[in-house]
Structure 1
């Protein structure tokens, strides 16, 4: 009785967590195999969130978090962007920290200005235009 109850609990946990109770072979049977000629090139490069310190309305320090990514349609430029991820993150962090340092306490960030500055920085780091900066969310906490 206890063993069946444990198994039932484990099965329910797996189903509720989004997992599948199916075996790996059964799960793989439903997948389609991609052929070499059908492989699509990636056009989006997601970067880790960038953080900067801001002043809150009450004078305490807060953190501004910005999710960024690049859309690059040129395959050669995409290879360069993938190789330049550390430089892109460092340059984006510098732009965001400079902007956040001048932001008044409690004022909302100007996302249009930030995106323009990040676009200039991305073009400068990659060496030529052709990428498009994509912003996910900006959060001040």
Structure 2
């Protein structure tokens, strides 16, 4: 049996089922409800207790119940990420080595940046995990 022909046949046979599977995934939302806007993890550089460089990682998202504000939020995600990166990097740079992060302070700072970027209140910041590694 010719191996190249067999592999080509397998690829053609699998193509319709893979197209259907990718179409189903496009319709499903990965996480959260209809009002949830996911933001990629925000990182900042800090010093660890042993003196080496560390990373402060902040996972967050936004709960935006108002549909018009949610559309504005989707359009403003790059600006939001930029504001979040600036706030987290500034905080991480001033974090004493070996000290745990103050999650309440980070949450207040990111909520303030959210309100500034969107121009009004209504989007609630949701923090997932704040990790120093």
Q: TM-score, normalised by structure 2?
A: 0.75
The count of residues paired between Structure 1 and Structure 2 equals 106
User: What is the aligned partner in structure 1 of residue 113 from structure 2?
Assistant: 121
The alignment partner of 1:48 has SS state of strand
Matched, 1:94 2:74: no
For structure 2, the residue ranges without an aligned partner over 5 or more in a row are 1-16, 22-32
Structure having the higher helix fraction is 2
Q: CA RMSD in A?
A: 1.9
Q: TM-score, normalised by structure 1?
A: 0.71
User: What is the aligned partner in structure 2 of residue 50 from structure 1?
Assistant: 42
The alignment partner of 2:46 has SS state of strand
For structure 1, the residue ranges without an aligned partner over 5 or more in a row are 1-23, 29-40
Q: Matches of 1:85 and 1:43 in 2, distance apart?
A: 14
**Structure 1: 4+ residue segments shifted above 6 A:** none
Q: Tell me which structure has the larger Cα radius of gyration.
A: 1
